[in-house]
Amino acid sequence: MTNNASFPNSDPPLTEITTALDELTQAFALVQATKSEMATRVVTQDNAEVRLDQGLTKLAAYVESVVGTDHSLITNAGMETKASRSAPTLPGVPQLSANPGEHEGEVNLFWKAVANARSYTIEASQDPAAAASWTHVGIATSASKLIANLTSGKRYWFRVAAVSAGGQSGWSEHATKVVP
């Protein structure tokens, strides 16, 4: 637009635009330089951490070569010993709730997640007093499961158990729902 007769008095003046563009260019350059410096510092920090880890590993190996597995001497050297592994424990029992699903023949089950549970097994029954009436209806890896293909108008009882490395928990209290 400079020296353009069609735009003799631009608003804002072109000098203001040029100044603002120069300021942005300088600010952008500063940000890019700061990002580059930050990346360099992060690499330097990561390298220092690797060197420290390697040094501590060598130091621990030295202490172990001198004292073997004598925990009191290892502790005396200012180091910690590994805790012995404990046997996995059974997970807690989930607390189950049931809501109608969005579609006919569906029930949405949900429960509070159980610590250390890897999955949950779900059973349903139309006659919960009869032990043989319970059937497997699903496995979940999160704390909810939509159960589909149920008979509308029928009452179902549901139960869930948590599964972990220690085994399966007891069954939850029953949740019941008449299927929509």
Q: For 131, which DSSP code? A: G
What residue ranges in 128-174 does DSSP mark as E strands?
135-140, 144-147, 155-164, 167-168
CA dist 78 and 85 (Å) reads 22
Outline which parts of the chain fall under CATH 2.60.40.10: 96-178
Q: Do 109 and 86 form a contact (C-beta atoms < 8 A)?
A: no
| Residue-level pLDDT, tens digit, the chain, 180 residues | 778 888 888 889 889 999 999 999 999 999 999 999 999 999 999 999 999 999 998 998 888 888 888 888 888 888 888 777 778 889 999 999 999 999 999 999 999 999 999 999 999 999 999 999 999 999 999 999 999 999 999 999 999 999 999 999 999 999 999 999
Q: Do 150 and 74 form a contact (C-beta atoms < 8 A)?
A: no
10 Å CB burial of residue 96 (0-12, 13-18, 19+) is buried
Query: Using one digit for the tens of pLDDT, what is the confidence trace for 63-111?
Result: 888 888 888 888 888 888 877 777 888 999 999 999 999 999 999 999 9
Class of domain 96-178: mainly beta
